[in-house]
């Protein structure tokens, strides 16, 4: 497995990402004694190619979501046209209305009659960032419409879009992405990628080492990190963990494989392993951890004869392919979460990883 050309979710052909945010210079974080001021929030939209099969898996105890029941494989609608990730807590779900309006204007959606009337399928999830900035400064329909109109193959990361006001434990969170293309095995030729908004209660960086949790040498090479100086690690330990009780990590995993709805759901489930590797603790009652998965069907695996195991009758014939994609999904989710924290830039005085441990970076 190797990173795709851009190491982002748009390495899956047909997937585009748009983001819109508002960030004021004077923004502050709310405290027990004073309300926050200014704007620091946004919306990230993942536009999907026609025919993309979608599913979702919710593991957090405090989710804020839209249209997740619709994506149950036992239900009638099995495709989606866009997925919205937004700040603003439950208020931010309004951003999806703007995405629907944008798609309707382009004639994209489920065609409901001979006149071409459409209903775009736009599931979504939100993070809690209301304590960063003014409580009433949150994404609305306009944020969603602007993000959808901005969609392209370039993917900005860090303190942008839905990650503008995100926090990751004591550090600044944000938007991250990663991709993998298989060069061997049953998924040869298939790409798996993720886009994640990292805003967890738990920590992404091990406070005793100053490095991502469980980072192995090969992973450090991928992230461009090295063991930081001890004094900086001590500074990380001294940071006070954020006190906000409502947080979440949300995201989208995409693959160009052709999978049925139940298999896509299995990919979403397995992808949560990557969230648990990167964040401690994960899936808490105070998080709303939600991962969507989509399969576009634009690529066909090309494994060699020895790489295509025989599957007993009565089992899913794609079981080996689904298992490989699930393993890759966990890896790209883990990488995307760490990439979000690495790319984060200062907002409202929230410390960033790069500011706190500058010697951890190779360049």
> Higher-confidence residue: 282 or 339?
339
What is the model's pLDDT at position 281? 87
Q: What's the pLDDT score for residue 310?
A: 77
pLDDT at 200: 92
For residue range 264-317, what is the model confidence (pLDDT) as tens digits? 999 999 999 999 999 998 888 888 899 999 999 999 888 877 676 778 888 888
Mean pLDDT of the region 168-196: 96
Per the listing, tokens 């999904």 go with 329
Give the residue from 360, 71, 56 showing the smallest Cα distance to 226. 360
What gap in Å lies between CA 183 and CA 5, rounded to an integer? Answer: 14
pLDDT (mean) for 341-363:
95
Reply yes or no on whether the pLDDT at 363 is more than 80: no
Average pLDDT over residues 105-112: 96
Q: What is the per-residue pLDDT across 225-234, written as a single tens digit (0 to 9) for each?
A: 999 999 999 9
Give residue 361's pLDDT: 96
pTM: 0.95
**Do 325 and 267 form a contact (C-beta atoms < 8 A)?**
yes
CB 275 within 8 A of CB 357: no
**What integer pLDDT is reported at residue 201 of this predicted model?**
87
Predicted pLDDT at 308: 67
pLDDT category at 240 given cuts 50, 70, 90 is low
Angle of CA points 254, 192, 7, to nearest 5°? 100
Q: What is the dihedral angle through the alpha carbons of 339, 289, 154, 356, rounded to the nearest 10 degrees? A: -30
Is residue 334 over pLDDT 60? yes
Q: What pLDDT shows up at residue 210? A: 94
| Mean pLDDT for the stretch of residues 4-8 | 96
Q: Residue 241: what pLDDT?
A: 52
Question: Residue 238: what pLDDT?
Answer: 84
For residue 249, list its beta bridge partners: 198
pLDDT at 243 over 60: no
pLDDT above 80: residue 246? no
Packing angle, helices 141-149 and 95-105, rounded to 10: 50
Q: pLDDT of 116-140, one tens digit each? A: 999 999 999 999 999 999 999 999 9
What average pLDDT is seen over the chain?
94
């Amino acid at each position: 497995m190797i990173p795709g050309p851009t190491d982002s979710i748009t390495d899956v052909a047909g997937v585009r990402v748009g983001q819109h945010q508002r960030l004021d210079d004077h923004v502050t974080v709310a405290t027990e004694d004073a309300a926050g001021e200014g704007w620091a929030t946004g919306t990230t939209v993942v536009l999907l190619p026609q025919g993309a099969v979608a599913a979702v898996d919710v593991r957090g105890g405090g989710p804020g979501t839209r249209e997740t029941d619709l994506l149950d494989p036992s239900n009638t609608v099995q495709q989606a046209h866009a997925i919205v990730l937004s700040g603003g807590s439950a208020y931010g779900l309004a951003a999806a209305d703007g995405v629907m309006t944008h798609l309707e204007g382009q004639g994209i959606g489920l065609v409901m009659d001979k006149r071409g009337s459409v209903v775009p399928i736009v599931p979504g999830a939100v993070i809690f960032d209301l304590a960063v900035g003014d409580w009433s400064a949150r994404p609305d329909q306009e944020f969603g419409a602007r993000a959808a109109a901005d969609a392209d193959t370039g993917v900005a990361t860090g303190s942008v879009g839905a990650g503008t006001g995100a926090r990751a434990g004591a550090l600044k969170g944000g938007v991250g992405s990663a991709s993998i293309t298989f060069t061997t095995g049953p998924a040869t030729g298939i790409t798996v990628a993720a886009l994640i908004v990292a805003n967890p209660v738990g920590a992404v960086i091990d406070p005793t080492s100053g490095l991502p949790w469980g980072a192995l040498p090969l992973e450090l090479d991928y992230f461009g990190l090295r063991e930081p100086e001890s004094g900086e690690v001590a500074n990380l330990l001294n940071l006070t963990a954020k006190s906000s009780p409502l947080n979440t990590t949300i995201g989208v995993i995409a693959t160009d494989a052709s999978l049925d709805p139940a298999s896509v759901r299995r990919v979403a489930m397995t992808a949560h392993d990557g969230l648990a590797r990167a964040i401690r603790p994960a899936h808490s009652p105070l998080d709303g951890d939600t991962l969507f998965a989509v399969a576009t069907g634009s690529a066909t695996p090309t494994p060699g004869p020895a790489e295509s195991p025989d599957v007993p009758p009565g089992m899913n014939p794609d079981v080996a392919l689904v298992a490989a994609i699930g393993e890759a999904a966990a890896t790209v989710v883990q990488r995307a979460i760490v990439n979000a924290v690495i790319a984060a830039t200062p907002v409202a005085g929230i410390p960033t990883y790069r500011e706190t441990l500058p010697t951890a970076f190779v360049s």
